Structure 1
Amino acid sequence: MSVRSLPSPADDPSTDIPPPPEYDGNLPFAAAGPEPARTGGERLYVAMTGAIVAGPFLALGVGGWLLWGRLIHPADLLLALGLYTITGLGVTVGFHRGLTHGSYTARRSVRIALAVAGSMSFQGDVIGWVAIHRRHHAFTDRPGDPHSPYRYGTHLRGQLRGLVHSHVGWLFRNERTPADRYAPDLLADRDIRAVSRAFPALCLLTLALPFGVGWAIGGTWTYALTALLWAGLVRIALLHHVTWSVNSLCHLIGERPFRTHRHDRATNLWPLALLSFGESWHNLHHADPTSARHGVDHGQIDPSAAVIRLLERLGWVRDVRWPTPDRIDARRA
């Protein structure tokens, strides 16, 4: 089954399930039930999530200390920039615009390569990532959304708590998002299933690559370790927080020039545009989820769309869903 045979949640009225009558867009989300006691497996999940979230972030502190001591090499920064770009585009072009929303159809080799690159971002296996994001679109900023900043209401304390939840707290809740409901097309794809199973190995690879390249360039443990720090851990931490900022900041602050579904508060936040490869033009994305371009107005930089355009010209992707002036105008607020 192709992703194109599945309607995007925001395009399919049947998935726009009305929220419970008591939810008015301002109240905290109703609890689904008492919090279950954590099992040993749940505690292990929380510990591993904590290590994945905190480890790269703590590396920023170590990196700052080393930078103060000038223990950094130009090769570290170049390698970090290269891997940030490759893995970031794997998430935006591959995981998001391609696999989640079907903004284009890619050759098999390109589809696999982008899924591998996105998996090396340390953001979770490809099928789980897509399922969670489709669920986010089906229930944006209302009960059912896994990472809405409005979970605890719209008063100041609730917004501050919601900001933490939408940015990183939701990762620790381990709420199950069934892939058979939200990503059956990927479960039926043998190649994507293989990439999904390879996620732990790809996490090791994304750290082993900078370590190995640093060793090859400098020939010492110092070069290998600083490359691992800057092009491995710090690079992962930066991409994590940029991606999570789209979940959090891009639903709280910014401009909303386009209409979205009821309760959907997705915004455009220009300061994140370059770092997020165009993902922070989030308001248009929620107004037109299958569009291959998110930054549609003058001066809106969208590197992911530029990459899709290049792949199209090379003949590696086809059926690209480029936004038309009429389609854009029809969605303006």
Structure 2
Amino acid sequence: MSSTSASASSVPPRSGPAPVRGVELASPRALRWQRFAMSVAVVLPLAGVAAALWWGWGRGVSGVDVGLLLGFYFFTGLGITVGFHRLFTHQSFRVPQWVRVLFAVAGSMAIQGAVIDWVATHRRHHAYSDRPGDPHSPHVAAGDGLRGMLKGLWFAHTGWMLGPEKTVQQAWAPDLLKDRAIVRVSRAFPWLILASFALPALLGGLLTMSFAGALTGFLWGGLVRVFLLHHVTWSINSICHVFGTRPWAAHDESRNNPVMALIGFGEGWHNGHHAFPASARHGLRWWEFDISWVVIRGMQKLRLARDIKLPSSTQLARRTRSRA
């Protein structure tokens, strides 16, 4: 209104960073519970790795345990990369509702947060990437030198989850709040955590017809798998904003890291993703293997995925940096 513009010149400019949209502080009680839950989520899988190695010392690891580890790693990992990230957060393609629900369940079983919380946080990350407001940048307020870099890496990897900031779902994921099926999956998150550990234990017991098989299935298909998947996913936030190449012009410090791309289902082509966030394909050059993109292409051939978003050759040329 005219009264606002007329008085603007008399108001001194705001100092410091602009306010962050859609963020609130957790209450002291909620913060204590959050820190307890995150501590359990970090420590328990690590303890599971130690227990699995101790149990397997001299006994080896059975084919059943390896199969459960890999099977649940791929199922829940693709639930994060294809489902939570490319489908729900960036809406890079469309699928039938039952496929949406399947990916929401699979991603939830990765135990990285309920689907709507995850999406809201990641959308906020893109809106403020490597600037004040980014929930997990390794660069904001990290400090100089090696100590500052290590502090930033720790914060982006794990430390941010212990902080008081809470991303507001209504501000960042209103579309998912209107999807009743996805809301149900989000509310069922505690039960899906239980299923994430119970299913490999149950399968291990049934396939070996033994209590020991159930125990090692729980360890390898449950705790070890969650440990590996957590740290691979968290490394995209930390390592892929510090180490790697920048072949594409993006407004942040995102990096392409081929090692993280290989073990992280293609998510390690992070600079390509930040240059073209809506693209269903992150490995944008022919040699950049992106298994999540392979899955999406396979779904397209089966007529389960449609309206797939990809950057045009003109868009790619505009964002190509002179040096990678």
State the TM-score, normalized to the length of structure 1. Answer: 0.87
Q: Deviations over 1:178-214 (max 9, x none)?
A: 0111000001111110110111111101101111011
Match of 1:242 in 2: 232
Q: How does 1:28-43 map to 2 (within 5 A)?
A: 39-43=28-32
Once residues 43 and 232 of structure 2 are traced to their aligned partners in structure 1, the CA distance between those partners, rounded to angstroms, is: 15
In terms of mean alpha carbon deviation, does 104-113 or 58-67 score higher?
58-67
Match of 1:139 in 2: 128
The structure 1 residue matched to 2:272, chosen from 276, 284, 288, is: 284
The structure 1 residue matched to 2:287, chosen from 295, 299, 312, is: 299
The structure 1 residue matched to 2:162, chosen from 172, 197, 207, is: 172
Q: Deviations over 1:145-200 (max 9, x none)?
A: 00000123351222111110000011111411001110000011111101101111
Q: Is residue 147–residue 247 contact of structure 1 (8 Å, CA) maintained in 2?
A: yes
Match of 1:100 in 2: 89
Once residues 140 and 40 of structure 1 are traced to their aligned partners in structure 2, the CA distance between those partners, rounded to angstroms, is: 29
Match of 1:198 in 2: 188
Q: Is residue 66–residue 72 contact of structure 1 (8 Å, CA) maintained in 2?
A: no
Assess, with a 3 A threshold, how the Cα gap between structure 1 residues 174 and 229 changes in structure 2: closer, same or farther.
farther
The number of equivalent residue pairs is: 303
Q: Deviations over 1:102-150 (max 9, x none)?
A: 1001111111111111111000000000000000000001100000001
| Percent of residue pairs bearing the same amino acid type | 46
Matched position secondary structure for 2:217 = helix
Once residues 70 and 269 of structure 1 are traced to their aligned partners in structure 2, the CA distance between those partners, rounded to angstroms, is: 36
Matched position secondary structure for 1:176 = strand
Q: Is residue 80–residue 235 contact of structure 1 (8 Å, CA) maintained in 2?
A: yes
Structure 1: runs of 5+ lacking an equivalent? 1-19, 24-28, 31-35
Does 2:194 align with 1:189? no
Q: How does 1:37-56 map to 2 (within 5 A)?
A: 39-56=28-45
Once residues 65 and 21 of structure 1 are traced to their aligned partners in structure 2, the CA distance between those partners, rounded to angstroms, is: 56
Letter paired with 2:29 = G
Match of 1:210 in 2: 200
Does 2:242 align with 1:252? yes
Shift of 1:60: 1.6
Matched position secondary structure for 2:54 = helix
Letter paired with 2:296 = I
Once residues 297 and 37 of structure 1 are traced to their aligned partners in structure 2, the CA distance between those partners, rounded to angstroms, is: 42
Shift of 1:21: 6.9
Q: Is residue 115–residue 192 contact of structure 1 (8 Å, CA) maintained in 2?
A: yes
Structure 2: runs of 5+ lacking an equivalent? 1-13, 20-24
Matched position secondary structure for 2:140 = coil
Shift of 1:325: 2.2
Q: Is residue 112–residue 195 contact of structure 1 (8 Å, CA) maintained in 2?
A: yes
Match of 1:222 in 2: 212
Once residues 52 and 235 of structure 2 are traced to their aligned partners in structure 1, the CA distance between those partners, rounded to angstroms, is: 22
Match of 1:14 in 2: none
The structure 1 residue matched to 2:58, chosen from 47, 64, 69, is: 69
RMSD: 1.9
Q: Is residue 152–residue 159 contact of structure 1 (8 Å, CA) maintained in 2?
A: no
Matched position secondary structure for 1:153 = coil
Larger radius of gyration: 2
Query: Which 4+ residue blocks in structure 1 deviate beyond 4 angstroms?
Result: 20-23
Once residues 59 and 130 of structure 2 are traced to their aligned partners in structure 1, the CA distance between those partners, rounded to angstroms, is: 44
The structure 1 residue matched to 2:306, chosen from 310, 318, 328, is: 318
State the TM-score, normalized to the length of structure 2. Answer: 0.89
Matched position secondary structure for 2:255 = coil
